[in-house]
Amino acid sequence: MTKRRIDIGLLYSRQGSYSLISEACRSGALSAIAQINADPGIDLCFVPVERDPEGNVDLYGPLCEDILNQGARHVIGCVTSWSRKEVIPTLERHGATLWYAVPYEGFEASDHVVYTHACPNQHLLPLLDWVMPAHGRRAYLTGSNYIWGWEMNRLARERITQAGGEILGERYLPIGSRDVARMIEEIRATRPDFVMNALIGPSSYEFLAAYAALGRQDADFAAARRPVLSCNMTECELPAIGPAAEGLVAAGPYFRGVAGWPDGGRFGSSHEAAAHVAVCELARLLAHRPGAETLPLSQLLEGAGGIIDPGTHHTALPVLIARVEQGAFRLIHRRAAVQGDPYLTRQAPPAAVLRLVQ
CATH number at residue 158: 3.40.50.2300
Beta bridge partners of 154: none
The total of structural domains in the chain comes to: 2
- Max Cα–Cα distance, the chain, nearest Å: 68
* One domain, residues 160 and 94: no
* One domain, residues 150 and 62: no
Q: Where residue 358 falls among pLDDT bands split at 50, 70, 90?
A: very low
CA triple 131-183-230, angle to 5 deg: 35
In 3D space, the residue among 135, 154, 244, 153 whose CA is nearest the CA of residue 192 turns out to be 135
In 3D space, the residue among 193, 169, 166 whose CA is nearest the CA of residue 180 turns out to be 169
* One domain, residues 222 and 272: no
- The backbone region for 192, taken as left when phi is positive above 0, alpha when psi lies in -120 to 50, beta otherwise, is beta
Helix and strand totals (H; E) in the chain: 10, 13
**What pLDDT, on the 0 to 100 scale, is given for residue 261?**
77
Query: What's the whole-model pTM score?
Result: 0.95
**What pLDDT, on the 0 to 100 scale, is given for residue 16?**
87
CA distances in angstroms from 358 to 291, 293, 297, 330, 355, listed in the order given: 49, 45, 42, 11, 9
* One domain, residues 199 and 130: yes
* One domain, residues 295 and 330: no
* One domain, residues 49 and 164: no
* One domain, residues 251 and 281: no
- How far is the C-alpha of 218 from the C-alpha of 167, rounded, in Å? 22
Q: What is the separation of C-alpha 26 from the centre of its chain, rounded to a whole number of angstroms?
A: 14
- How far is the C-alpha of 38 from the C-alpha of 299, rounded, in Å? 27
In 3D space, the residue among 8, 1, 21, 46 whose CA is nearest the CA of residue 234 turns out to be 21
Lowest mean pLDDT among 187-191, 259-263, 297-301: 259-263
Please give the single-letter amino acid code of residue 45. C
Mean pLDDT for 260-284 is 90
* One domain, residues 269 and 168: no
Cβ atoms of residues 78 and 98 within 8 Å: yes
Q: Where residue 350 falls among pLDDT bands split at 50, 70, 90?
A: low
- With a cut of 50, say whether residue 88 has pLDDT above it: yes
Cβ atoms of residues 140 and 186 within 8 Å: yes
Q: What is the mean pLDDT of the chain?
A: 95
* One domain, residues 172 and 199: yes
- How far is the C-alpha of 334 from the C-alpha of 173, rounded, in Å? 31
CA triple 309-120-152, angle to 5 deg: 140
Please give the single-letter amino acid code of residue 30. L
Q: Give just the sign of the alpha carbon dihedral 181, 328, 272, 109.
A: negative
* One domain, residues 11 and 68: yes
- With a pLDDT cut of 70, the percent of the chain lying above it is 95
Domain region containing 152: 121-255+317-356
Quickly count: other Cβ atoms within 10 Å of residue 30's Cβ: 19
Answer with the residue of higher pLDDT: 358 or 183: 183
**What pLDDT, on the 0 to 100 scale, is given for residue 257?**
87
* One domain, residues 228 and 344: yes
Q: Where residue 349 falls among pLDDT bands split at 50, 70, 90?
A: low
* One domain, residues 332 and 201: yes
- How far is the C-alpha of 120 from the C-alpha of 142, rounded, in Å? 16
- How far is the C-alpha of 63 from the C-alpha of 9, rounded, in Å? 10
Phi, psi (deg, nearest 5) at residue 59 = -90, -15
Phi, psi (deg, nearest 5) at residue 142 = -120, 160
